[in-house]
Chain A
Amino acid sequence: MNKKLPITLAALLIAGAAFAQDMALHDGPPKFGPDDPEVKAAYEEDGRWYTADDLPTFNIEDDGTIDWMTYSGFRRYHSECHVCHGPDGEGSSYAPKIKFSAVNMDYYDFYAVVADGRKKVDAAENSVMPAFGDNPNVMCYLQDIYVYLLARGTDALPRGRPKARVDKSDVIREDENNCLGT
């Protein structure tokens, strides 16, 4: 198991009630740039990167090589999320620019919305985010998707397929298999 996961779950329970604020506020522009301490990578552990506050984040080398988690997030995002949120987290006629949501919501709120879903259905809007809580293709890769969108939302990563990446670490591979039950 990812040793960060228990922290995440605990925080999820606390944050569950707090996320019901207006998502439109999170649509952008982004609150942080790529070098802000809120998002800047401070240390690496088994192929995953974290901020000084121990929150998951992306890491991009000087030559543009990105960490595995960010690359994996690119792949999973364009499988599970882009049919509503558009390519590269850029939003669509259907759903908001989620790349900014990742920057402007904190990690736990973001996690809670993905797991539980949300609805804005009234005379002016028919906007529904489904609950992905029981979808292993999303939940086993949520940290990946989050750090990818964080990289997109802070403009650290340009649109399109990332050019170069580091390989998947053994720990990440093992955690994936445990999560998927394979």
Chain B
Amino acid sequence: MLTVESLKKSYDETAGRKAGRHDDTRTYAVGGVDFEVHDGELFTLLGPSGCGKTTTLRSIAGLERPTSGRVTLGGRVLFDAAQGVNMRASRRGFGMVFQSYAIWPHMSVFKNVSFPLEVMPRAKRPGRKEIEERVGQVLDVTELGSYASRPATKLSGGQQQRLALARALVTHPELMLLDEPLSNLDAKLRETMRFELKRLQRELHLTAIYVTHDQSEALVMSSRIAVMNQGRIEQIGKPREIYTKPATRFVAEFIGTSNFLEGTVASVHGQEVQVDTEHGRLVAHEVDKAPAVGESVLVSIRPECVDLSRQPRGNVPNEWSGKVLTRAFMGDVVDHIVGVGKLEIRNRSNPNLSIPPGTEVHFSIAPDKVTLVPVD
């Protein structure tokens, strides 16, 4: 299990000696990050570019020296600013896939993969035969078996990506670090590689930290996701939690699309929370922790949770009516934008529902799909 505790990284070298002092005015690329990665988990750091996810990953890798904090793996301390411990990247024994793949152009495919085995400490270094076997295995797993003798630069983008993966896998590392490994591939290939990677991770029971800015990639592949923004973690949770229960406005906005309404808590009865918005009252089921009466909240409703119908159903909670403003057909789904006064609500449905603009419609939202996000 990897533990990261209050990790901070600043590139502001001039104030290097001010760490931990009150007059610490530096700007942080990573401003205090805590998380754990469990064995066999694919843990994703998700966020927009510049949010500090790559810096966090590189700090774990040992390629970057954090300004403060602590990183441990199992019982091993990899980094501890307070004790002045900073294990070299080469001693941490991780596998890493770089965004640019960082394939060595002067080596063949085979040599690229055998390199990590060849540079092992003499005591642990496998023999020539075993190296060949292990490289063969990992090349087969990544479907590069027939390219072994080719110069690495003669591979296609997807093959180079798999080669980078093979190189990271060949030592059976305790932890795999993947820095946007799919971002340089075309859309179709990216889709295939997602499942491919996930399959490998499951089959080999790999523990991995995956960095991406692509939310759908994160949702598909991750065991858990940490959403990062401006050097801090906004929320950690399983993909479904992150999606359905965004903890902050940033998470709700960054992950998927959402309808947002501002409101005030009117009453709380057990799990049932009544929220007054400008456009009417909504009922929400809040399982974790109910807000207090009078508190301002942000209501987030996913478009696919908006049930649209031509006729009012009556007797369902949160049923509103409005007029279809636009309709957008997107193949597997269709979106309707419904105007309720000044408010526009996006609905996403199965494409066999199709209502022309200008039609009066009704829609409802199940209370457990109404997400209340605290306003800070």
- Genuine A/B complex: no
Question: Which B positions have Cβ atoms within 8 angstroms of A?
Answer: none
Question: Which A positions have Cβ atoms within 8 angstroms of B?
Answer: none
